[in-house]
Amino acid sequence: MLTGPDTLSALEPHPGVHGLAIGVFDGVHLGHQAVVRSLSGNVAVLTFEPHPLAVIAPERVPARLTSLEQRVKYMRAIGTVAVVAVKFDQALRQLSSSAFVDELARIFPDLKEIAIGQGWAFGRNREGDAARLTQLGAAHGLAVRSIAPVHLDGALVSSTRIREAIVVRRFDEAARCLGRSHAVTGTVIPGEARGRQIGFPTANLGDVEQLLPPRGVYVVRARVGTEIFPAVMNLGQRPTFTSNGVDSLEVHLLEGGRDLYGEEMELVDFSWIRDEQRFPDVDALKTQITRDVEEARARLA
């Protein structure tokens, strides 16, 4: 269940919640999961939409690892009963830490425990650190847990580390930090049908929110509903054809060919094949795509 995003004061009460994990939780990586799993009973998550930096310092807002819908999906998979999304705006930014905790007590009347990651802070001027939350929570009978970061291979698991791994195509490292493959979702939209014209029809994805890897050709698995397809993904400006300067994301399914327009597609298990390149003519491009498909089949066998 997802509630919101809405302003904190507009959220309806959620009775029956005993534990609450609070944070942005972009990625829902191993560290985020540890915060949630530290709680017992009926556990809910309070998250923020958009990312607080989109309001506080837009020039520093990081690329997203997960959409809000994905956060709900991944949090529910580890046993939460609800995800409550709070609209992060200037009013919330200026809210005092005491008023914030009062609102939590109102929204979650049966709450017993709160868990946050170490270093997380809330309220006006980030005045609400773990010590302040413990103090304020005590007035409402709330215990507070400040959960230590998770380390993997001698380094901190963080959303920043995962973003850096994806940008340099270290997909295995990103997956180990996430506990699953990085996943990109989009809606299949009409394209120029160039792939179909040369014998390799593609699904063009729009409305992509998540961080993408660098331009190039990749082996992926594409999920549409309950179906999973082996596929080749091309991300770039299609330099062999006339480019409009805008990157496109095209997916050629190795099996299946039904009409997917308007459907949501999820891409996982990225594996790089080659960089994007310009070919002298369409025949040379077709030859290379044939090789790409053969490489993909070999890797996915």
- Per residue in 82-124, pLDDT (tens digit) is 999 999 999 999 999 999 999 999 999 999 999 999 989 888 8
Q: Which parts of the chain have pLDDT scores under 70?
A: 193-199, 239-245, 257
- Quick one: pLDDT at residue 193? 59
- Quick one: pLDDT at residue 277? 86
Say what the pTM is: 0.93
In the chain, what is the straight-line distance between the N-terminal and C-terminal CA atoms, in Å?
37
| Strands 113-117 and 82-87, sheet pairing | unpaired
Phi, psi for 266 (deg, rounded to 5) = -115, 135
Q: Are 267 and 221 in contact (CB under 8 A)?
A: yes
Q: How far apart are CA 140 and CA 125, in angstroms?
A: 23
Q: Which residue has the tokens 């369409």?
A: 282
Structure tokens at 144: 């507070």
Query: Cα 59–60–66 angle (5° rounding)?
Result: 115
